[in-house]
Structure 1
Amino acid sequence: MTKKAENVIAGISIGDLNGIGAEVLLKTFEDSRMLEMCTPVIFANVKILSFIKKQLELNEIALHGIDSLDQMVIGKINVLNVWKEGVNLEFGTNDPVVGQYAIKSFTAAVEALKNKQVDVLVTAPINKYNIQSEEFKFPGHTDYLDQQLEGDALMLMVQDKLRVGLLTDHIPVNEVSAHLTEELIRKKILTINKTLKQDFRITKPKIAILGVNPHSGDNGVIGHEDDDVVKPALKTLFEEGVHVFGPFSADSFFGSGQYEKYDAIIAAYHDQGLIPFKTLSFGNGVNYTAGLDRIRTSPDHGTAYEIAGKGVADNNSFKEALYLALDVFHNRAEYKELTKNPLKIREKQEESKKFH
């Protein structure tokens, strides 16, 4: 049975406390109507958040401190005390000690997500450098989630109908070619295809893939990966009924508006996909970890040390991340019900045709 909106529990990891994460989070819940959509649980420390709230003059927000998740109150902004001691903050500073508290928050939130004590997870920005330790050796959130949760994690950047996924993400550009295999391409495309159906309610997804090399290799003149690896993988998938197209020349794909014809676009490497995405999304984008059995989103920006503590951070991306997490939660519940009744799926497909 579908949960009522206010009973959906949104777990939130606090991120780097010297950055803007706490600010954009608090500003999002400054609007009391947000509590009609979900009940938040912030994994941090209520004294620290109360201090930041006071510093930013966000005095209308009431925080409810709890020491265990069974003390959570529906309709309040719950703050789970993951630690009790004080933390020295200096906004805008890269501090390894503060980085370790970001990880304490994150790992506790992931544990709650695994145990279904929270329904979705929204992660505030971390500093990938200062979180490293003997206990945590991951480039970022996604890699840890991939290890802890079932499925195959895939970074999918989302802004309304623009969705950009990656074949490879946080690796050096000179290693991209070595990582690309038909098996990898197949796995990523099938993951996105399933995600579009169950998480975004798209019954017959159309997926575009960008070429690895300039002009998709110009028939082998500028590199062989597109002809030897990408095209065979796409041909096999298309024959199996997956509507995947390409590889398209990346330099003109977004500027020409071609991206608007597809439900998702897959880039070969990080900057090939994220530069056009962030240019088009204007600070409203969301990083969604597709392919997992649990739901996690985050804003598409970093710690923004240069404006931290000044009260000027824009919370739109964080708010959109929360909206998307809740939408996916409800979409998955509906998809689960539909898959129990094939007739309903056909009805949805017929309904979809009327709008295309």
Structure 2
Amino acid sequence: MKDSPPLTMKDIAQELGVSVATVSRALKDSPKISAKKREEIKAFAKEKNFCPNIVAKNLRNSKTEPIKLIGVIIPKFSHSYFASILSGIEEKASTKGYHIIATQSNENYEQEVEICKSLLENKVCGIIVSQAKNTFSYDHFQNIINHNIPLVFYDRICTGINSSRVVVDDYTGAYTAVEYLIKTGCKRIAFYGSSMKLEITKNRYNGYKDALIKNGLSLDERFIKQCDNRTDAEDITPHLLTLEDRPDAFFAINDETAIGILYTVKRMKLHVPEDVSICGFSNGGICMACDPMLTSVDQHGFALGEEAAQVLIDKVEGVIPESKIEKRIVRTRLILRGTTR
């Protein structure tokens, strides 16, 4: 039988019919709360063996220097975008006196669950995570919250968990890119994305779709593919390029996929961008290591990492109240290079 999750201030607030802020102030003996209400809340908390997040409390109140340790879960270290995010997290954490434990889920749900358990056992004061592609259950994330450990999502957020998050403006980034392809004469634009279970795929697909509709172009289901890596792009693209009304442009959910498209188009003796335009998403170093260089949507990974770390640290140190769900958006920018007209 599983242990019951630890009692939270939110639980106490719901039980007593008060706000989380009132519970927090009462437990701190704040004079803003009446003596009677303070005693009522404190007695209830004692009866239920309520234990606050000791790590976070120590960080706020200790005059000595406690271990300030942040857990970070990266889907894949090999992706330059995630590497830039990690650099941003580490930079911000370091300037604030924190250390990080960087882990890799390798896009695997079971591994992600084990990492979460390990980070809790290592008594991290907070966790920053981008979920794996195949994550289908979120109990391991809820367990972190139940232990009163601040949790911040970045890039791939978990909509089933009410937690703070820092993301890029995926919709606008995709819309801007696809509209640019249309404005430069492209009319049959293919979309390569990840699973529609992921929020970033939904947002980028909606940006793609709305750009087509606003500019008087219809959706062609033949050109919409679940494809988010180079290998699959090289397998799927040849068939589309043999169609009589083949795509004259491709919008890919990441740069790796876009490179697979570029390689295939050139292998089939078509010219880029004269015959086919290609746009990626991320703007990693790989964009300048191909010929022609790849047009891409810049996600500002380093800045996103810094922002995620700042939100996490502010939650840990009480700058952002425990009950407040912080949602921040990092703007994107289309970087034009040789794969578009």
Q: Same fold (TM over 0.5)?
A: no
TM-score of the aligned structures, taking structure 2 as reference length: 0.27
TM-score of the aligned structures, taking structure 1 as reference length: 0.26
Which structure's CA Rg is the greater one?
A: 2
**Relative contact order: is structure 1 or structure 2 higher (C-alpha 8 Å, sep ≥ 6)?**
1
